[in-house]
Structure 1
């Protein structure tokens, strides 16, 4: 227990210093803004900083992704939570990955993510009818989605019974292959086509550019896209939230690669 307490204190101090450095660089940065960046409720983050709740490995991973930490910083952060035994460390990492795939497969319908964002709207009502109208889904889908999100611990309730997002968050940014993820992305692309047809041009922005690229820079490009997503998310989330949007940035190959088998091109 003494080791766990020490690790918890170290992780708490590390996180406090991280937020202090962020505030120093940007006076407008806040605990709420940081909570949005790592997709956790301000209440949960506050309890972590006060030492009332342990910083989990799952949340540590999201912090590293959100702040685009380098290898050395990631190792420092992860060392607080992983066992000194390499065998236990491998097992814990495996559990984390398996849970990610399971959660995505269980939440493959797009409206699960829509509901988690509706919570940020001040006028949110935990009412299946209200949610169904907001997202254009059935009341049964809304009811079952809430129950599923609670069961998966994506959502939880505070002492007053109010819903909030927990530290459990799963992302496709680590390139995990999953049928659930593919299903979700297909739905989002279909929603984009639907928006193109029915939404006013002032309410949407669907643009693209066709370019000849250097494939060696793809990894770097994905990193820059991630930074853009986080920056735009923070920008659009400032102030009163009134509607749920999905931001998609597409970078897809439209031709064969000249680095491949040239016989295929002849």
Structure 2
């Protein structure tokens, strides 16, 4: 039985019915009762009443229902639009999951630390002992902030609890581009650059790499350089996907091209 494609539905109740049926057939240990057990705002009775048309999905229960249905962030966005009749943001057009990389929504950047917490979950030390995440991210955030981030990532489907009770990612990789230069994305990039600056003093040269080139460009050569960087970025993304199970240490890689001054029209 194939998983129901949420992007082809216009009725959230029909999708829930098909999704539950699929989960029961594809996962031996799955049941609505077990999925609801750790949740406060969802129960088997609620799901039954929703399917029977006796209850509707409310905002305060939406996150828990998504956990019961094991939806990834992109599916949650579309499901929210189905349930509440909200228009999807133009920068996140509904599309079928690619099975790998996808561009991150601004939502995860409610706190810039969230992507670092999410990717730290893949580290071997954290998989063996969740408390190790505090040491891994001690230079970035306090324990309470990391805890809030984990709760946020769980609530909104960026992380999930697997059958063994471990925290795992819902999707393997998120790509943070600058095409839509919103305030949250700009803030994230500033924090990433700040971490890079601190890393120059904190880590030895055999643990990090820093390179800087300075040269003049005109409009034509700038576009040519952009194309080179985009090609290289794609290679990096493919590299990251290929080595997604490399889990010893968390790194960040920044590509940053900016003028040093002057005017675009000079």
Q: TM-score normalized by structure 1?
A: 0.55
Higher relative contact order (CA 8 A, sep 6+): 1
For residue 193 of structure 2, what is the aligned residue in structure 1?
Answer: 189
For residue 94 of structure 1, what is the aligned residue in structure 2?
Answer: 90
For structure 1, the 5+ residue unaligned runs are 9-46, 48-52, 60-80, 82-87
Question: Which of 138, 159, 168 is residue 155 of structure 1 equivalent to?
Answer: 159
Partners of 2:182 and 2:239 in 1: CA distance:
26
| Contact 1:154/1:166 (8 A) holds in 2 | yes
Partners of 1:169 and 1:239 in 2: CA distance:
11
| Contact 1:157/1:163 (8 A) holds in 2 | yes
Partners of 2:250 and 2:73 in 1: CA distance:
29
Greater helix share, 1 or 2?
1
For residue 199 of structure 1, what is the aligned residue in structure 2?
Answer: 203
- Relative distance call for 1:198 and 1:217 in structure 2 (3 A) is same
Partners of 2:192 and 2:134 in 1: CA distance:
18
Question: Which of 195, 209, 224 is residue 213 of structure 2 equivalent to?
Answer: 209
Deviation (angstroms), 1:58: 4.2
- Relative distance call for 1:181 and 1:220 in structure 2 (3 A) is same
Deviation (angstroms), 1:206: 0.8
For structure 2, the 5+ residue unaligned runs are 9-25, 27-68, 79-84, 94-103
Question: Which of 243, 247, 256 is residue 249 of structure 2 equivalent to?
Answer: 243
For residue 114 of structure 1, what is the aligned residue in structure 2?
Answer: 116
Partners of 2:179 and 2:211 in 1: CA distance:
24
Question: Which of 150, 156, 162 is residue 146 of structure 1 equivalent to?
Answer: 150
Partners of 1:148 and 1:57 in 2: CA distance:
12
Partners of 2:91 and 2:238 in 1: CA distance:
30
SS at match of 1:203: coil
Question: Which of 234, 240, 243 is residue 233 of structure 1 equivalent to?
Answer: 240
